[in-house]
Amino acid sequence: MRGPDGGGDPGAAGSASSRETRSAAIGTSVGDPSGAPAGLRRADLSPDPIEQFGRWFAEAEADERIVFAEAVCLSTLGPDATPEGRMVLLKDFGHRGFVFYTNLESAKGRSLAAHPRAGMTFHWQPPGRQVRIRGAVEPVSAAEADAYFASRPRGSRLGAWGSDQSRELDRRATLEERVRRADESFQGRDVPRPPHWSGFRIVPDAIEFWQEGPSRLHDRFLYEREGEGWGRRRLYP
Ligand SMILES: Cc1cc2nc3c(=O)[nH]c(=O)nc-3n(C[C@H](O)[C@H](O)[C@H](O)COP(=O)(O)O)c2cc1C
């Protein structure tokens, strides 16, 4: 499932060549008469960035060279306003926003309580694409979090009870003992969602699509909310 802009370097995955060499290889093929993809054009993009994200995400998911299409760097501001990033998994997206789940008392949970805004940065290689999302953050509903939590394997659900995410741990055995105790206390019944575990939704006010191009002449389109709709601008790379 590739759009007309679908780019890429089919030989890149697992190749020993350096990133520079790979970029150069892309450069020689981009827009050439062999049918290799040209750059990203405005006409290739949906006027709706959520729909556009859906297209690229579906392509990344369908590409077996990409292991975790849903892995994304989540950026937040710490309580002292220091930027901090870490990977999370995108669990849902749509016109309401982009959802991930975590421990509410983790460093990120506390950061979001202090500064309820965040960024998400996806990178899919191949085909050399980046998507950046930023916006306000809101909690998902309890019903939504319950439904997602219930879909997780029992071991992950027990882990959510056992882990004081981001707090100091004296030794691994303590964690394992906490998980064992949780397992014992939920023996013979479903593991419920802990009160300190839920999700957040980033409601985007800006989404940027970046497509790798030859000689660092990449294509970038930035969508920003304008009233009920979205404005769209091309940016220098
Ligand atoms: C690929 C990948 C996916 C991850 N997904 C999640 C996730 O969905 N939720 C989460 O809380 N942590 C996830 N983690 C762990 C976080 O990166 C991080 O270590 C943890 O959430 C603690 O972060 P914090 O101390 O900044 O709160 C993931 C790590 C990796 C490498």
pLDDT in tens, 171-225: 999 999 999 999 999 999 999 999 999 999 999 999 999 999 999 999 999 999 9
Task: State yes or no: pLDDT of 37 exceeds 90.
Answer: no
Predicted local distance difference test score (pLDDT) of residue 38: 59
Is 16 inside a domain boundary? no
Is 77 inside a domain boundary? yes
Find the DSSP H helices in 7-118.
Answer: 19-29, 49-62, 107-114
Is 117 inside a domain boundary? yes
Is 41 inside a domain boundary? no
When divided into structural domains, the chain yields a total of 1
Domain housing 82: 48-156+194-235
* Ligand 1 atom at shortest distance from the alpha carbon of 71: 1
CB 100 within 8 A of CB 199: yes
Task: State yes or no: pLDDT of 36 exceeds 70.
Answer: no
* Ligand 1 atom at shortest distance from the alpha carbon of 91: 8
Is 177 inside a domain boundary? no
CA distance 102 to 196: 9
- Which residues are catalytic, by number? 216
Is 78 inside a domain boundary? yes
For a mutational test of ligand 1's pocket, the pick from 87, 98, 121, 165, i.e. the residue with the most ligand atoms closer than 8 A to its C-beta, is 87
Q: How sure is the predictor about 13, in pLDDT bands with cuts at 50, 70 and 90?
A: very low
Is 225 inside a domain boundary? yes
The CB of 68 under 6 Å from ligand 1? The reply is: yes
CATH of the domain at 66: 2.30.110.10
Is 144 inside a domain boundary? yes
pTM value surpassing 0.75: yes
* Ligand 1 atom at shortest distance from the alpha carbon of 109: 27
